[in-house]
Each structure stands twice: as C-alpha cells, then as structure tokens.
Structure 1
Amino acid sequence: MAVKTIWQITHSCGHQAERDLSDRAADRRAGFAEWLAKQECTDCWRAAKDGDEQDKAAWLEVKRAEEQAESDAWSQQYRMPPLEGTERAVAWGVRCRHQVLAAAYTALVLEGETSETEWEEIEEAARTVTRAGWWIDQRSSEPDDLSELLQAATEADRPTENPHF
C-alpha cells in the first residue's frame, strides 16, 4: 500500500485543510503534516501578516513624526534656515540635516579634535546649504567628510568668473 499523498491538516488556528503532499518524499510527509498542524492556515497567516504590516506602518509613521518634531526643534534651536524642495523632500532633508550634523558634532567635537570655534565655522557653512536634496544625498556620509562636502556644495553655488571676458 502506498503512503497517502492527501493529508487532512487541522491547523493551530483551528481551520482544517486538505494538503497534497505528493511533492515530498513519502518518508517526510508525516513529519511535514505534523509541522503544518502547528502552523496557522494560509488565510490566517496572511491576515496576521497584513496586520503586522499595518502595525509596522503605523509604528513607522509615529517614529517619523517623533523624528520630525525633534529635527524641527533642533533646526529652530540652532537657527537653521528652512530647506527648499518638495514638501516630502523638505521634511526628509530636515531630518537628514539634523542627523548628519549631530553625528558630525559628536565625532568631530565631542570625540575628536575639532574645537567649538572650528565647529561654528562648519555650522555656519551648513546654514548656507538650503537644498533638501543635498542633505538627503549626504545622509550616509562620514562625519570627517562634512567640511569638504560643505565646501564643495558652497563652491558649486558660487558663479564662476570667466577671466576671458
């Protein structure tokens, strides 16, 4: 007599389903059927997963709102100018600027050799970069690179003089 291929599974959620286990080796079907019985059925698993994704989205929305409020307060405290760009880019850029400058301050001043006076010069240069996209692009930069990046950004904004005219 052949080992059965169709198994009646009662899942942990209480739902029952027939499963065709013919794609598994005969000696592995019983163990797999036992494992399936300890799992939720496909419909319950999907419903739970959708709920998890909704919970994750809600958590992320709250987290972003907290980060945005913190970044907005920081921007006001340190007299950072408003950024330019789309509404979405501005919000993201404000968070990125806060994170980039806070990480740089920690690495360069608190843990490094940069003086408060030197930091004030870096901070002043940062105030001149008001394009949200620039801050978004720099979100993964190294703190040690900030001065050079700011210098490049401010030089790119200056008109070049043509000595031939």
Structure 2
Amino acid sequence: MTVKKIWAVDHQCGHQAEHDLSGRPADRRAGFARWLADRECTDCWRADRTDDAEAKAAWRDKQRAAEQAEADEWTRRYGMPPLEGSERAVPWAVRCRHQLLAAAYTALVVEGDTDEADWAEVEEAARTITRAGWWIDQREAEPGDLPELLVAATDDDRPTENPFL
C-alpha cells in the first residue's frame, strides 16, 4: 500500500481543500498536512494580502522614511561623505551603508575583539567609498566581512577594466 498523495485539509479559515503532496517525501506528508491545517487556505491567504495593498504600501513607505531619517542623521553625526549615483540609488545606498556599518560595528567591536582604534580605520576606509552602487552591492554582505571588502574596494592595484570584455 502506498502513502496517499492527495490530502483533504480542513484549513483554519473553515475551508477544505485538496492538496497534492506528491512532491514531498512520503514520511513528511502527514506532518505537512497538519501544518497546512493551521493556516488559511490559498484563496483566503491571497485575499488577505491583496485587499490591503494600499495599506501595505503606505506602511512600507513609512518604514522606509523612518530608516532614511535614521540613516541621514547617522551620516551627519559620523561625517560620512555624500554618495554619488542616481536619484533613486543614493537614498537606498545611504540606508545600506548605515545598516552595514552599524551591523559591522556590533559584530566587530561590541561582540568581537576589534578595538575602537582599529574600527576608526575601518570607518575611514568606508568614507573613501562614495559610489552608491558599491554600497547597494554590499547590502547582503556579512558584517564581519566589511574590513576585507573595504580593502578590496580601495586596492589601487586591481584592474580598472573588466578583463572579460
């Protein structure tokens, strides 16, 4: 006898739906079906998310404005230079730079063994990078990698042209 592949699930919202769980290993289907039962059905889930699109956009804009204000204040307080780039890229890059440097400070100084003098060198290297695109490209970097990334970005010996073109 084979483990069933189509499961009838009574969802939290009160709807029942059949789910094809054949893409899951046989020994994980029952657990996944229980997990599905604790959630809304697909139609209810979509309805909850699409009806309030304007409210979500307003919330996102409010969050982004708060992050931008915090990043602008931080930029002013720590004497970071203005960034160069497009009208859309610069505010985004300012937020990315703030988030990365703040996370790196926490990882390296607060939780790590970097002293304030060494951190000052990292901060100075960061001040030399004014291209908005560089900061945007590093937005998902590990905070502890920042010193190495800054060294790579400020290395004058690296080729300035793309060797693959």
TM-score norm. by structure 2 comes to: 0.66
> 1:65 aligns to what?
65
Considering only aligned residues, what root-mean-square deviation do their CA atoms show, in Å?
A: 2.6
Relative to structure 1, the CA distance from residue 57 to residue 77 in structure 2 (aligned partners, 3 Å threshold; closer, same or farther) is same
C-alpha displacement at 1:51, in angstroms? 3.5
Relative to structure 1, the CA distance from residue 52 to residue 158 in structure 2 (aligned partners, 3 Å threshold; closer, same or farther) is same
Higher helix share: 1
Matched residues, number: 121
Q: Aligned partners of 2:15, 2:146: CA distance in 1, in Å? A: 54
Relative to structure 1, the CA distance from residue 75 to residue 62 in structure 2 (aligned partners, 3 Å threshold; closer, same or farther) is same
Relative to structure 1, the CA distance from residue 79 to residue 103 in structure 2 (aligned partners, 3 Å threshold; closer, same or farther) is same
User: Is 2:147 aligned against 1:147?
Assistant: yes
> 1:11 aligns to what?
none
Q: Aligned partners of 2:156, 2:135: CA distance in 1, in Å? A: 15
The 4+ residue runs of structure 1 with deviation greater than 3 A are 48-51, 156-160
Q: Aligned partners of 1:49, 1:142: CA distance in 2, in Å? A: 32
With 141-150 and 75-84 compared, the bigger mean Cα shift is at: 141-150
Q: Which runs of 5+ in 1 are unaligned?
A: 1-27, 29-33, 37-41, 161-165
> 1:130 aligns to what?
130
TM-score norm. by structure 1 comes to: 0.66
> 2:105 aligns to what?
105
Residue identity over aligned pairs, in percent, reads 63
Q: Aligned partners of 2:100, 2:71: CA distance in 1, in Å? A: 11
> 2:52 aligns to what?
52
Amino acid at match of 2:80: M
> 1:12 aligns to what?
none
User: Is 2:118 aligned against 1:118?
Assistant: yes
